[in-house]
Each structure stands twice: as structure tokens, then as C-alpha cells.
Amino acid sequence: MKMFLRLSLLASLAGVPAIGFSQESPVGGEVQEEPKTAQEWNLAGVSALEKGDFDQAMVAFEKALGLDAEQEVIRRNLARTYGHRGQKRMQEGRLLQALEDFEAGRKVDRDRGYLECLIARAHIRLGRRDQAREVLAEVRKDFPECLPALRLSSELAFVSGQLQQAIEWIRQARRLAPEDASLERRLQQLQQEKEAWEGFLTDASAHFQFRYDPRNPAIVQAVPQLMTDLEDAYQSVAARLGFVPSDTILVLVLDRDRYRGQAPAWSGGLYDGRIRVAMKDYESEKEQLRATLRHEYTHAALHRIGPQLPTWLHEGFAQWVEGRSVQRARGRMTAASKKGPEEFAPLKALDGNWTEWKENDRVSRAYDYSLSFVEFFRESYGDTVYTLLFENLRRLGLEQGFRLTFGKGIAEVDREHRQALALSD
């Protein structure tokens, strides 16, 4: 008798569905004694997975394979166990460890390309887009009906400015899954995007690709200086934070007055891996624009570290690289603190989306606090702390990376910062 057990241990990532686990066994229920056959070990592995015990499940599936190396069901169960553990690690921000799991799973069984799609997603999160493209190209060749591969390929093409290719891959995906309304919506978005940037030219510097309207003389004249200024921003991040992304970043140079008309309505407020520069007269705006470029490039770089970082960390470092005055920020904080420590929200409240906040004072205090906090890292732990922090974040995720860097958790470092500035009771 053949039975199939579907587990949804983790939410899907990047369009890759939650991976199901199959079992073949004439017996249902828990394994009560030491398994003896491949089928019994396979059932033991499934039971361990139901409890979320990935390590024990791997042991059981390995033993099952040792008894029956030709059994495809067992190989796939083992591969998918690596996939589930890797997804959990990815959700925790432990990208490098997640990648190791996905690679190990792929060696056991390619599972119709699903494990490789997770590998590609990990590479994207780590800023390794070229490696992600190579993996996805192999999947499309060997498994042309792998829907997640087409979706991811389309998004990679989109952030690289290859809109026609992005459209073609979404069309292929829609032919495979015509009932999926999200594919039709995405196709319409991509077509709007292509129409908005019709006629734009492409130019490149060492680390950026620029897309701009050649019919706008002010923008054409400004592009060479923008290239220089963004390369300077690249060097600022490298010097001040100790890391740089490895992939090329697409920059859209737009006329400020026409920006809302050029940008599709659905794209407003979304971070999609690209940098938008809205300008009118570069010469008169260059100082402000240079600060903005440093700020926005810092966001782009931080998005490529791997783990999802809280807003306070993003905005703190973006302001710090931009060159905002920590002293002035702390002066405003001191003035606000006279009303009481409740003027400064708990750090957890600064994790989310500040654009949803209505009170301007609340937003200003959040920016000031974030800038002061990241400067406190350096003041308290030395000039090399940022390089160490980002390396640990990349390897271990936010919580563990923070603890390894500072020897204590985020909450404790935050408490020290508030005490140092007399912002706590």
C-alpha cells in the first residue's frame, strides 16, 4: 500500500512551494521499536519530521538508504529534509548554513529543480546574482516546467533591466499555471514597466548600470557625474562598513517632475534592488544628491548581506555613511528626553515599516535614535566592529551574529546605549 504524507513545516520562500514528504510503508502510526527495514527507517524519518527534528530525520533516512540505495522515495525524503532545514536557517538569517543544506540536498536528489531554486534564492539574498543565474539556467534546461525557476529567473531579469526577458519567462510560467492569478498580475506589471522605460539608454560604470532618457539634455549631461558620485558611494561603504556587494546594481535616472509618470503606480515605495535617482538640475542639487546616493547605496548594499535586517539598522547605517551629524541627532534626543523616556519607543518598535507612521516627530526620533545607536557600536567596541558585525550577520543571522560580535544580545546593547544617553528611567 502506498501512502503520501504532506508536511507544511515552513512557509514557502521565493515561489518555491513547501516541500512535501512521501512515505512508503504498509504500517501507519509511530514506529515503536528500533527499525529494521528500509521502509521502517523511512517511516521513522517521517515521524521525526512531524516533530520538527531534522537531524533525527536525516539519520533515519540515511539508514534507510543504506538498506535500499535504489529507493527514489527515500532519496527524495532525505533531500527534502535538507531543504526544510535550509529553509528554517534561511528564515533565521543563517544564509551560508542554509546554502550548505540546499547543496547537500541537491547532491542526494535534484527533486525536479526545487532544491536548486532554493540555492538560487540563497545566492540572491547574499548578493551573488551571477551564481543564481547559472543555477537557474541549469534548472530551466533540465526541468523546463519548474515554475519557481521561471519566476525567479524573471525577477532576476527584472532587477537587471532585462524587461523583455523577464516578460518572456513570466509568460512561460503562466502557460504552465494559467489558474495562477498572481502570474497575470505580474505580467501586467512588467509590461507597464517596459512601457514606462521605453527608449531609455543604458550605460555602465565599474559597479553600476545606468538607465536614462536620452531625450532629456539635463540628465544626459549629469550621467557622467552621477557615475563618479555613485562609485564614490561604493568606496564610502567599503571604507566605512568594511563590505561591498559583488553584483552590479541598476540605477534609474529620472526627471523629478516626470518621475511619478515614469514610474508605474504599483512600484511606489517598493524596494526592488534598484536605485532611483530623481533629479532636475544636477549642478544646483549635487550636494544633496551626493548625500542621497550614499544613503540609497548603503540600503542597496545592506540588502545584499543575506539576513533580513531591521529598519533601525538600515536607517542608522544609511545616515552614518551619508554623513549625518550624530552630535546634532543626540542633541535633539536630549531635548526630547526631557519630556520623559517614553518619548523613545522600544527598539522592537523600530523594526518595521516607518512609512506607515503618521506622526512626524515619531519618525524623526526613530531616525535620530538609529543613527546614534550604530555610532554607539563604534564608540563602545572599536573601529573594526562594523566589519566583524557584518561578517557575523552574514554567517549567523541577526540575533546570533549580534551576540557573537558584542558578547551580548541586541536588547542588552540597546539598554547600554539608552543608559549612556540618559534615555532610560
Instruction: Give the type of residue at 335.
Output: A
What's the DSSP call for residue 230?
H
Q: What was the pLDDT predicted at 16?
A: 45
**Given the DSSP bridges, would you call strands 21-24 and 2-5 parallel, antiparallel or unpaired?**
antiparallel
Question: Residue 211: which H helix or E strand, with range?
Answer: strand 208-212
The dihedral region occupied by 137, where left means phi > 0, alpha psi between -120 and 50, and beta the remainder, is alpha
User: Model confidence over 41-75: pLDDT tens digits?
Assistant: 999 999 999 999 999 999 999 999 999 988 899 99
Q: Is the pTM of this model over 0.85?
A: no
pLDDT of residue 185: 96
Q: What pLDDT sits at residue 421?
A: 87
211-228 residue pLDDT tens: 999 999 999 999 999 999
Cα distances (Å, whole numbers) of residue 269 to 289, 295, 301, 305:
19, 16, 18, 21
Domains of the chain: 1-108 (1.25.40), 127-196 (1.25.40.10), 201-302 (3.30.2010), 311-420 (no CATH)
Q: Determine the pLDDT at residue 182.
A: 96
Average pLDDT, the chain: 87
Provide the pLDDT for residue 12. Answer: 34
pLDDT for position 341:
62
pLDDT of residue 168: 98
Cα distances from 118 to residues 88, 121, 124, 320, in angstroms, run 12, 5, 10, 34
- Residues in the chain with pLDDT values less than 50: 1-21, 23-29, 31, 262-270, 425
Give me Rg for the CA atoms of the chain: 25
Q: Are strands 201-204 and 21-24 parallel, antiparallel or unpaired?
A: unpaired
The total of other beta-carbon atoms located within 10 Å of residue 179's CB is 7
